[in-house]
């Protein structure tokens, strides 16, 4: 049984409107019970401000339980109750994803423990990443403009220089060492020899570390020493990995030269000669369907170098890459975005939801009526119009019934939450699938690959036939059978 926790953070204002922490806990427990989960922990932050909760002891305890696997899901009433700080919400989301834990928000109807919820989350994450990259591109464009105008970009100055009044000027203690570095390299022609000589002389880098051949090479290549410093020249591609940007994006700032231009050119010509014959392997292309594409004969199909097709090495069955991607794109749109395929399923859920909501309203009305009756009885007793015996004979059974009605209320709400989560997740998937279909060509290849990995279980290429097995959602026939079909364990389901 899935171990889950319940997150309770009810503001003082909410409590004033009758939303007690006990009610939220009961509602979450009933939702867990409805799904067959076990509630292991309750994290109570009632009255705590939502501006920042990450450092609260209860939040730390919850995250520790997530990391060690004590709980694998967290139920909360709505995202604003988890945190109101956008950054913290994103941090929580990343931590949950890293620990393979689920987030269940009852009001937003997000339940990543369900197949539909996981697929919905995958699509939302892909689109969110796409939006973040769009913003990053705009930021990069502004950086390029500032660079071309020769405006300082900030950051650490190159070795041998310092920033002063937005200008690069030689740093008195480092500039002589940098000049000595060029002279040593011209004399010895080896970066490692230069590093050893500098270290033996007691010189260290700006951070106090010993010189290495990599550090020496980086300093030798920097043009600031000959009087011009290029900005916005490189980008980081990984840990300790950088690549050079197109020269059109560079900017430049004039500096006071530390070495003559001729000396700089001689040293860099030596470096060019060393690197001219070195072969650097090209970045391996990302194939959308690598490891997922199978031939009808049972063998996996691969894309050979410089080939535009997936090929079976056993029977030489093949299919063009662009054709397979177009087929998958149409399959996703047809499967998720065709209203006629899930209309009956949604109608069944809507009917059940309406019945439950009518029952809930009736239940609440009964609670209000009983409380009013009890209040009037109490007033009669206080005014002396009712004996203590008569009061007890009515009030005690009424109080017992009221407790029963109040205890049943979270159960009904949890059932409605359960239905709404399934229903709205499916509806959102339809909308997101259409957006995803429209923007598919604009998404980076690695993002498309991530979506394919999340959605596709297997692709089988036969003689003139293609069968795509989708991982998460059941087939259209199963979707219309019952609401419970959405919550069965995920398994490869043949395409209808």
Handedness of CA 444, 450, 455, 460 (dihedral sign): positive
The pLDDT of residue 175 is above 60: yes
Nearest Cα to 161, choosing from 150, 145, 172?
172
What is the rounded CA–CA span in Å between residue 214 and residue 192? 9
Report in angstroms the alpha-carbon separations of 215 from 178, 199, 218: 12, 12, 5
What's residue 86's pLDDT? 61
Residues 311-344: tens digit of each pLDDT: 888 888 888 888 888 887 777 666 555 555 555 5
What is the rounded CA–CA span in Å between residue 204 and residue 207? 8
- The mean per-residue pLDDT over the stretch 200-225 comes to 90
DSSP calls for 120-166? HHHHHHHHHHHHHHHHHHHHHHHHHHHHHTT----SPPPTTEEEETT
What is the rounded CA–CA span in Å between residue 170 and residue 164? 10
Check residues 232 and 446 and name the one with the higher pLDDT: 446
- Strands of 456-461's sheet, edge to edge? 293-295, 456-461, 466-470
Name the β-bridge partners of 310. 303, 319
Check residues 183 and 365 and name the one with the higher pLDDT: 183
Give start and end residues of each alpha helix (H) in 206-308: 213-221, 261-275
What's residue 184's pLDDT? 93
- The mean per-residue pLDDT over the stretch 484-489 comes to 36
Report in angstroms the alpha-carbon separations of 402 from 28, 29, 140, 416, 488: 21, 20, 63, 21, 36
What is the rounded CA–CA span in Å between residue 128 and residue 415? 30
Residues 350-367: tens digit of each pLDDT: 666 777 777 778 778 888
DSSP symbol at 281? P
- How many other C-beta atoms can be found within 10 angstroms of the C-beta atom of residue 122? 20
- φ/ψ (deg, to 5) at 280: -105, 120
Reduced to 3 states (helix: H, G, I; strand: E, B; else coil), residue 417 is helix
Domains observed in the chain = 3-108 (3.40.50.1390), 115-147+287-484+491-496 (no CATH), 150-275 (3.90.1750.20)
Residues in the chain: 496
Note whether 395 and 89 are within 8 A (CB). no
What's residue 261's pLDDT? 92
The pLDDT of residue 474 is above 60: no
Note whether 270 and 189 are within 8 A (CB). yes
Check residues 456 and 195 and name the one with the higher pLDDT: 195
Lowest mean pLDDT among 138-152, 176-190, 409-423: 138-152
Q: Mean pLDDT score of the chain, rounded to an integer?
A: 76
pTM comes to 0.41
- pLDDT confidence bin for 19, thresholds 50/70/90: low
The pLDDT of residue 242 is above 50: yes
């Amino acid at each position: 049984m899935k171990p889950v926790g319940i997150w309770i953070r009810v503001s003082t204002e909410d409590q004033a409107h009758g939303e007690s922490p006990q009610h939220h806990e009961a509602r979450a427990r009933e939702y867990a019970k409805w799904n067959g989960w076990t509630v292991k922990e309750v994290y109570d932050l009632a009255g705590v401000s939502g501006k920042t909760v990450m450092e609260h002891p209860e939040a730390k305890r919850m995250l520790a339980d997530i990391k060690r696997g004590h709980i694998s899901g967290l139920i909360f009433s709505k995202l604003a109750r988890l945190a109101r700080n956008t950054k913290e919400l994103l941090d929580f989301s990343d931590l949950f994803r890293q620990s393979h834990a689920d987030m269940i928000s009852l009001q937003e109807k997000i339940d990543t423990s369900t197949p539909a919820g996981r697929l919905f989350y995958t699509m939302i994450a892909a689109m969110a990443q796409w939006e973040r990259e769009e913003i990053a591109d705009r930021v990069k464009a502004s950086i390029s403009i500032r660079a071309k105008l020769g405006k300082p970009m900030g950051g650490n100055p190159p070795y041998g220089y310092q920033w002063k009044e937005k200008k690069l000027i030689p740093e008195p203690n480092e500039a002589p060492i940098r000049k000595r570095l060029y002279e040593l390299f011209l004399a010895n022609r080896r970066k490692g020899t230069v590093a050893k000589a500098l270290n033996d002389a007691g010189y260290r880098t700006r951070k106090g570390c010993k010189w290495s051949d990599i550090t020496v090479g980086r300093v030798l290549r920097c043009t600031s020493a000959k009087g011009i410093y290029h900005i916005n020249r490189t980008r980081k591609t990984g840990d300790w990995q950088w690549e050079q940007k197109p020269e059109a994006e560079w900017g430049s700032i004039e500096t006071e030269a530390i070495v003559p231009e001729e000396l700089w050119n001689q040293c860099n010509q030596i470096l060019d000669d060393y690197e001219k014959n070195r072969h650097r392997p090209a970045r391996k292309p990302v194939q959308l369907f690598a490891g997922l594409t199978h031939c009808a004969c049972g063998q996996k199909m691969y894309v050979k170098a410089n080939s535009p097709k997936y090929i079976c090495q056993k029977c030489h069955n093949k299919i063009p890459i662009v054709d397979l991607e177009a087929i998958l794109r149409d399959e996703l749109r047809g499967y998720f975005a065709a209203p006629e395929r899930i209309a009956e399923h949604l109608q069944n859920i809507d009917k059940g939801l309406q019945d439950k909501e009518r029952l809930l309203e009736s239940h609440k009305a009964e609670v209000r009526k009983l409380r009013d009756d009890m209040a009037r009885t109490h007033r009669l007793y206080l005014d002396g119009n009712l004996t203590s015996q008569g009061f007890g004979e009515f009030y005690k059974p009424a109080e017992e019934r009221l407790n029963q009605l109040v205890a049943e209320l979270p159960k009904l709400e949890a059932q409605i939450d359960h239905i709404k989560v399934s229903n709205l997740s499916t509806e959102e998937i339809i909308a997101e699938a259409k957006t995803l279909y429209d923007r598919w060509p604009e998404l980076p290849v690695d993002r498309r690959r991530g979506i394919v990995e999340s959605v596709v279980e297997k692709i089988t290429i036969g003689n003139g036939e293609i069968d795509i097995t989708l991982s998460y959602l059941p087939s259209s026939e199963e979707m219309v059978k019952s609401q419970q079909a959405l919550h069965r364990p995920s398994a490869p389901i043949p395409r209808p």
